[in-house]
Amino acid sequence: MARKNPVGPDLPDGLSDAIANMSPLELQELMAQFGISVVGPGAPPPSGGRGLYGFTPPPRPDLRRPRRSSPVILRVRVDLKGATPPIWRRLELSSDLELATVHQIIQACFGWWDYHLHRFSIGGDPFAWDAQVFVCEEDAEHSDDEPDGLLDRDVRLDETMSVPGDVLQYVYDYGDHWDLSIRLEAIVPITDQPRARCITGRRAGPPEDCGSVRDGDELATLLDDPAAFDVEMVNAAIDEIIDDADRPRLRTELELSFRRMDPSLVGVFVEAGLGLDPDLRPDPAEVADRLRPFLHLLDRCRPNGLQLTTAGWLPPVVVEEVAALLPTAAEWIGKKNREDLTPPVHIFRGLLTRLGLVRKFKGKLILTKAGKGATDPERLWRVLGDKLASLSPSEPEVLGILLRALLLVGPDRSDGSAAEVVARALTSMGWSEGAGPIRPQTVDDIWDPARRLLAELSRKPVRGWQPDPSDPVVRALLTDVVLGLV
Average pLDDT over residues 372-401: 71
User: Is 238 in the same domain as 140?
Assistant: yes
Type of residue found at 285 = A
Whole-angstrom CA distances from 246 to 2, 49, 266, 313, 484 are 62, 33, 28, 33, 30
Q: From 215, 283, 218, 238, select the one nearest 97 (Cα to Cα).
A: 238
Whole-angstrom CA distances from 182 to 17, 64, 196, 213 are 36, 16, 15, 20
pLDDT above 80 for 25? no
Q: Which of 156-160, 359-363, 479-483 has the lowest mean pLDDT?
A: 479-483
pLDDT above 50 for 176? yes
Domain range spanning residue 215? 73-245
Domain contains 45: no
pLDDT: is 33 or 421 the higher one? Answer: 421
Q: From 463, 459, 457, select the one nearest 478 (Cα to Cα).
A: 457
Q: How far apart are CA 45 and CA 92, in angstroms?
A: 32
User: Is 206 in the same domain as 306?
Assistant: no
In this structure, what are the phi and psi dihedrals at residue 180, rounded to the nearest 5 degrees?
A: -130, 150
Q: How far apart are CA 422 and CA 412, in angstroms?
A: 16
**Residues 482, 403 contacting (CB under 8 angstroms):** yes
**Which residues, in sequence order, are CB contacts of 195 under 8 Å at separation 6+?**
93, 94, 97, 242, 246
Q: Are strands 167-172 and 118-122 parallel, antiparallel or unpaired?
A: antiparallel
Q: From 114, 126, 200, select the one nearest 160 (Cα to Cα).
A: 126
In this structure, what are the phi and psi dihedrals at residue 161, rounded to the nearest 5 degrees?
A: -150, 140
Determine the pLDDT at residue 425: 72
Domain contains 262: yes
Q: How far apart are CA 116 and CA 142, in angstroms?
A: 12
**Which residues, in sequence order, are CB contacts of 165 under 8 Å at separation 6+?**
183, 184
pLDDT (tens digit per residue) in 266-316: 555 555 554 556 677 788 999 999 999 999 999 999 989 999 999 899 999
Determine the pLDDT at residue 417: 67
The total domain count for the chain is 2
Type of residue found at 347 = I
Which residue among 193, 215, 245 closes a domain?
Answer: 245
Q: How far apart are CA 486 and CA 477, in angstroms?
A: 9
Domain contains 31: no
User: Is 200 in the same domain as 265?
Assistant: no
Q: Which of 67-76, 82-91, 174-183, 468-477 has the lowest mean pLDDT?
A: 468-477
User: Is 329 in the same domain as 369?
Assistant: yes
Determine the pLDDT at residue 334: 81
pLDDT band at 365 (very low <50, low <70, confident <90, very high): very high
Q: How far apart are CA 29 and CA 51, in angstroms?
A: 7
Per DSSP, 29 falls in state H
Per DSSP, 215 falls in state B
User: Is 369 in the same domain as 224?
Assistant: no
Per DSSP, 84 falls in state B
Q: How far apart are CA 157 and CA 101, in angstroms?
A: 9
Domain contains 36: no
Give me the CATH number covering residue 152: 3.10.290.30
CA distance from start to end of the chain: 68
Type of residue found at 183 = R
Sign of the alpha-carbon torsion through 450, 452, 456, 459: positive
Domain contains 428: yes
Domain contains 2: no
User: Is 219 in the same domain as 268?
Assistant: no
Determine the pLDDT at residue 5: 36
Whole-angstrom CA distances from 56 to 28, 33, 130, 148 are 14, 12, 14, 12
User: Is 174 in the same domain as 266?
Assistant: no
pLDDT band at 431 (very low <50, low <70, confident <90, very high): low
Domain contains 94: yes
**Residues 298, 371 contacting (CB under 8 angstroms):** yes
Which residue among 220, 245, 270 closes a domain?
Answer: 245
User: Is 197 in the same domain as 261?
Assistant: no
Q: How far apart are CA 233 and CA 204, in angstroms?
A: 12
pTM: 0.48
User: Is 237 in the same domain as 257?
Assistant: no
**Residues 319, 337 contacting (CB under 8 angstroms):** yes
User: Is 146 in the same domain as 291?
Assistant: no
pLDDT (tens digit per residue) in 327-358: 888 878 888 999 989 988 998 998 898 888 99
pLDDT above 80 for 164? yes
Q: Is 362 exposed, middle or buried (0-12, 13-18, 19+ CB in 10 A)?
A: middle
Q: How far apart are CA 197 and CA 109, in angstroms?
A: 10
Q: How far apart are CA 161 and CA 75, in angstroms?
A: 11
In this structure, what are the phi and psi dihedrals at residue 167, rounded to the nearest 5 degrees?
A: -125, 130
User: Is 236 in the same domain as 258?
Assistant: no
Determine the pLDDT at residue 201: 97
> If you average pLDDT over every residue of the chain, what do you get?
78
DSSP letters for 294-317? HHHHHHHTTTT-EEPPTTSPPPHH
Which residue among 187, 217, 245 closes a domain?
Answer: 245
User: Is 475 in the same domain as 334?
Assistant: yes
Domain contains 48: no
